[in-house]
Structure 1
Amino acid sequence: MRIVVAEDTAILRAGLVQLLEDEGHEVVAAVADAELLRAAVAEHGPDIVVSDIRMPPTHTDEGLRAAIELRERQPGLPVLIFSQYVETQYAGRLLAGNAAGVGYLLKERVLDARDFLDALERVAAGGTALDPEVVGQLVGASPSRSTVDALSPREREVLGLMAEGRSNAAIAGLLVVTERAVEKHVANIFLKLQLPVDAADHRRVLAVLRYLG
C-alpha cells in the first residue's frame, strides 16, 4: 500500500516508516504536522493515512481534525489514528456517517507490531479497528442507547468485539464458543438493528455505528 504517516515525534515517525517499509508498503510521505499531512494527501493520493492526534502548533487535536477534513473531502479515504489519547468528540465525528475504513488505536496498548499491521490492512480494506478503550469511552458518551438496548448481553459483547475489528473466528476464540454460535449472534444483531441484507454499506460497519451511537 501507499501510505502517508503523520507523527510529530521523530523517533516514532522513523520507527513507523521502517516497520511499514519492512512489510513491503511504500511510505510516500512522513510528516510532522497537520498542514503537511493535508498537503501530502493532496499530492500523493495515498491508499491510507496513519496519523497521531496531537501535533504542532498547539499539540491538542490538529491531527484528528485534519483526518476528519480529509475524510470529508475524500469520502472513504482510510484513516488509522494512532495516538496516546482518546478524544471522544472528534472520534465520534470521524466515525459519523460512514465508519468504513476508520481505525483508532492507542499507542500504549499495541503490544505487538503484527497487531498494528493487521489493523492497518483491515482499515485499508474498508473495515474498522477500534481499541477497546476507545469503544468504551464512545459508548459511554452516547446519548441514546435504545436500539442497542434491545440486544442481549451476549449480543452486545459480540458487537463490542466487532467494533474492535475482530473477525467471527477471533470472537469465537475470545468467547470460547463455536464460530457458528458467533454467526448466529451476528445475524441476530443485524436483525434487531434492522440492517437490510442489501445495504450498500458493510453491515458490520453499520452495526458498529449503531453501537457507538
Structure 2
Amino acid sequence: MRVVIAEDAALMREGLVALLQRFGHQVVHAAEDADELLEAVAAHRPDVVITDVRMPPRNLDDGLRAALAIRAGHPDIGILVLSQYLGDAYAAKLIAEPVTGPRGGTGYLLKDRVGRVADFMQSLDVIAGGGIVIDPKVIGHLMSSGRPHALDTLSEREREVLGRMATGESNAHIAAGLHVTEGAVVKHIGNIFAKLGLQAQDGNRRVLAVLTYLQAARPDDPPEQALRPPRATTSKR
C-alpha cells in the first residue's frame, strides 16, 4: 500500500519508514509537521495516512486536526493516528463522524503498539481494508464512564465481543480470546447487529456497530485537556 507518514520526531519517523518498507509498503512521503502532511496527501493521494497527534506548527493537536481535514476532503483514505497518551477525546473526535458512502478505515493507537510489530501491521491492514482499530487501553478508558448509552440492550458477553471488534480482532481471534467457538461469536455478532438495528442493507455493519460502540462512550473532555500528560503528584501548579 502507499503510505504518507507524519511524525516530527526524526527517530520515530525513520523507524516507521523502515518498518513499512520492510513489509513491502511504499512510503511516498514522510512529513515533519501537519502542514507538510496536508500538502503530501494532496500531492500523492495515499491509501493510508499515519500521523502523530502532537505536531508542529502549534505542537498541540495539529496532527489530529490534519487527520480530520483529510477525512473530510478524502474520505476514502485510511487514517491511523498514533499518540503517546490515552487522549480519548482525540479518538472520539476522529470516529464521531457518521459513515456516508465509501470510507477509508480509522485507527487510534498508542505509540507503544508500534513496538509490537505483528499487532501494528495487522492493525494497518485492517485500516487499509476500511475497518476500525482502537487501542484496547483507549477502549477501556472510553468505557469507564459508566454513563447510560445506546448499548444498554446488549448482554455483558455481547458488549465484550463488540469491544474486541473495536480493537480490530477477527472472529477467530475473538473466539480464542473468550474461549468459545467461532460459531458462538458469529451468533453474538448477529445479536449485536439486531439489537443495534443494523440491517443487512446497511453496508459494513461491523464498522457501524463499532462506531456506535465508540460514539456512545465518547468523553466530554476537550482535546487540549486530554493531550496533557498526568501531573506529577509532587508538583505544584
TM-score (norm 1): 0.94
**Structure 1 residue 120 and structure 2 residue 132: aligned?**
no
**Structure 1 residue 55 and structure 2 residue 55: aligned?**
yes
Q: Which position in structure 2 is the counterpart of 1:165?
A: 168
Q: Is the 8 A contact 1:139 1:211 kept in 2?
A: no
Q: Which position in structure 2 is the counterpart of 1:197?
A: 200
Give the aligned length. Answer: 211
Name the CA shift for 1:149/1:66 in 2 (closer, same or farther; >3 Å).
Answer: same
Q: Is the 8 A contact 2:135 2:167 kept in 1?
A: yes
Deviation at 1:58, TM superposition (A): 2.6
Q: Which position in structure 2 is the counterpart of 1:210?
A: 212
Deviation at 1:77, TM superposition (A): 1.6
Q: Is the 8 A contact 1:88 1:141 kept in 2?
A: no
Name the CA shift for 1:3/1:162 in 2 (closer, same or farther; >3 Å).
Answer: same
CA–CA separation in structure 1 for the residues paired with 2:152 and 2:199: 19
Q: Which position in structure 2 is the counterpart of 1:66?
A: 66
Q: Is the 8 A contact 2:79 2:106 kept in 1?
A: yes
SS in 1 for 2:152: helix
Runs of 4+ in 1 over 6 A off after TM superposition: none
CA–CA separation in structure 2 for the residues paired with 1:143 and 1:43: 43
CA–CA separation in structure 2 for the residues paired with 1:55 and 1:144: 35
Q: Is the 8 A contact 1:47 1:124 kept in 2?
A: yes
Instruction: Spell out, residue by residue over 1:38-92, the C-alpha distance to the aligned partner (whole angstroms, 9 max, x if none).
Output: 0000000001000010011232211011101110111132001112123333322
Q: Which position in structure 2 is the counterpart of 1:43?
A: 43
Alignment of 1:134-153 (within 5 A): 134-140=138-144, 144-145=148-149, 147-153=150-156
Q: Is the 8 A contact 2:113 2:120 kept in 1?
A: no
State the one-letter code of the partner of 2:205: R
Alignment of 1:170-189 (within 5 A): 170-189=173-192
Alignment of 1:12-23 (within 5 A): 12-23=12-23
SS in 2 for 1:118: helix
Deviates more, 1:134-143 or 1:166-175: 134-143
Q: CA RMSD in A?
A: 1.6
CA–CA separation in structure 2 for the residues paired with 1:109 and 1:190: 29
Q: Which position in structure 2 is the counterpart of 1:130?
A: 134
TM-score (norm 2): 0.85
Deviates more, 1:101-110 or 1:82-91: 82-91
State the one-letter code of the partner of 1:205: V
Higher relative contact order (CA 8 A, sep 6+): 2
Deviation at 1:141, TM superposition (A): 5.8
Unaligned runs of 5+ in 1: none
State the one-letter code of the partner of 1:107: K
State the one-letter code of the partner of 1:198: Q
Name the CA shift for 1:8/1:142 in 2 (closer, same or farther; >3 Å).
Answer: farther
CA–CA separation in structure 2 for the residues paired with 1:76 and 1:89: 23
Unaligned runs of 5+ in 2: 217-237
